[in-house]
């Protein structure tokens, strides 16, 4: 009786394979639709039972069709979902090995950046790659050796789907974990993403870099410039992630000096790059001066002032280094920037933190401002910019404060 049932199942599977081999694209698609509807969450043994111990033969037909037709994108979603069912099957590790043997990883990586690929197909391809990555370190290395990091990062930069970008971020993070041979390759790939024109890609890259810092336990000087450039973004979520990453990176000796000095310099924007920067960052409607918002360099100035304040509040040694770099002089100038009130506000809040931390700075600022302006400043730094007149603004912009010189003279 059991033998009869087995023979019947075998006959049905053989008929299915014959229908597949002789069928049209549409008939194959119908087969895959039925397979997806009836076999989600099946285990490896259950799939074998479903196909009379011929699951690998069916799987081979799906992967072969996908490799031959993925460039055109026809029925790619069904193909990828079917592959996912096999790779997701418990006790179905051999399906993964079969997928790798036929070049499945390279196919998925190519799908990520095909112009014909839909976003849902990219997400499915990433889901497949995640299953490969989670199978172990040697599979992570295989993807990296196949220029996977470059392909995934390019997908993040070009994608217009947040779901795809989030999935790709997860894949990059998984690639970096437990993969010492290629973790720095992933790290540098994420740094290369920072100048992307996609705000979501920038956010994803900074989040992934924050995730990776404890893994790589170091940093790279090339991160400083593109990271600080993110502070020009009009997107607050990008600014937030950039500032949080700055807080993490300030603890790394390799880049601390460069990071802090660059931040201090950005408090005094180079006005001659203002509109040029605006055109580069916003190549379409935003470069119309008739309806222009604040210059990106002023947005950056305010964000840098805010970041410095946060760093000074959490670390006195870092605050001391900022003071030694001449931050007080530059903060006073930023407080006098009548072209952008948020720069004035953030610089004022940050200077008040430093003034209350260091008596020397307090005395110097009092002398530079004069008693009247100083008392207004100390009583309400948050709204100081609303209570200053033009003369007081000029006093701030033309200040001659030079605390590094004072400190040098004291040591002598």
Q: What is the pLDDT of residues 250-300, one digit of tens each?
A: 999 999 999 999 999 999 988 644 333 333 333 333 444 434 567 899 999
Q: Please give the Cα distance from 116 to 1 (Å, whole number).
A: 51
Task: State residue 1's pLDDT score.
Answer: 37
What Å distances lie between residue 402 and 10, 320, 331, 361, 406, CA to CA?
88, 14, 12, 10, 7
Tens digits of residue pLDDT in 60-93: 999 999 999 999 878 999 999 999 999 999 888 9
- pLDDT of the residue at 285: 36
Q: Return the residue matching tokens 């950005």.
A: 266
Q: Are 90 and 45 in contact (CB under 8 A)?
A: no
Residue ranges of the chain with pLDDT lower than 50? Answer: 1-2, 4, 272-291
pTM: 0.88
d(CA 37, CA 287): 50
Q: How far, in Å, are 69, 208, 285 from residue 282 at the CA level?
A: 38, 25, 7
User: What pLDDT does 277 receive?
Assistant: 36
Q: Are 55 and 69 in contact (CB under 8 A)?
A: no
DSSP state for residue 74 in the 8-state scheme: T
User: Is 239 in contact with 202 (CB distance < 8 Å)?
Assistant: no
Say how far apart CA 378 and CA 352 lie, in whole Å: 7
- The C-alpha R_g of the chain, in whole angstroms, comes to 29
């Amino acid at each position: 009786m059991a033998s009869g049932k087995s023979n019947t199942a075998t006959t049905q599977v053989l008929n299915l394979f014959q229908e597949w081999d002789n069928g049209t694209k549409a008939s194959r698609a119908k087969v895959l639709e039925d397979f997806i509807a009836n076999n989600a969450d099946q285990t490896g043994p259950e799939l074998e039972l479903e196909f009379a111990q011929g699951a690998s033969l069916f799987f081979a037909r799906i992967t072969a069709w996908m490799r031959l037709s993925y460039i055109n994108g026809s029925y790619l979603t069904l193909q990828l979902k079917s592959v996912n069912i096999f790779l997701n099957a418990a006790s179905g590790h051999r399906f993964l090995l079969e997928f790798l043997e036929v070049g499945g990883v390279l196919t998925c990586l190519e799908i990520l950046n095909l112009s014909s690929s839909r976003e849902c197909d990219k997400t499915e391809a990433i889901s497949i790659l995640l299953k490969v990555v989670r199978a172990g370190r040697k599979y992570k290395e295989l993807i990296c050796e196949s220029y996977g990091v470059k392909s995934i990062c390019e997908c993040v930069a070009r994608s217009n789907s947040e779901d795809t970008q989030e999935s790709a971020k997860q894949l990059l993070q998984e690639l970096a974990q437990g993969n010492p041979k290629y973790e720095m390759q992933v790290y540098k790939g994420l740094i290369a993403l920072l100048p992307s024109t996609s705000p979501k890609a920038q956010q994803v890259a900074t989040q992934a870099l924050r995730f990776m810092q404890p893994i790589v336990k170091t940093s790279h000087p090339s991160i400083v410039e593109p990271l600080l450039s993110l502070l020009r973004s009009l997107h607050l979520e990008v600014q937030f992630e950039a500032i949080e990453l700055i807080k993490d990176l300030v603890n790394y000796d390799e880049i601390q000096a460069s990071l802090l000095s660059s931040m201090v310099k950005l408090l005094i924007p180079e006005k001659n790059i203002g509109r040029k920067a605006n055109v580069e960052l916003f190549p379409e409607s935003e470069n119309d001066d008739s309806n222009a918002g604040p210059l990106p360099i002023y947005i950056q100035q305010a964000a840098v002032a805010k970041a410095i304040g946060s760093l000074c509040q959490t670390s006195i040694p870092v605050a001391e280094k900022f003071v030694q770099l001449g931050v007080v002089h530059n903060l006073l100038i930023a407080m006098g920037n009548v072209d952008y009130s948020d720069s004035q506000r953030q610089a004022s809040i940050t200077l008040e933190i430093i003034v209350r931390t260091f008596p020397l700075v307090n005395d110097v600022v009092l002398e530079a401002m004069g008693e009247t302006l100083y008392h207004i400043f100390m009583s309400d730094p948050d709204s100081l910019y609303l209570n200053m007149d033009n003369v007081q603004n000029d006093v701030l912009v033309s200040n001659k404060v030079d605390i590094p010189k004072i400190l040098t003279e004291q040591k002598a």
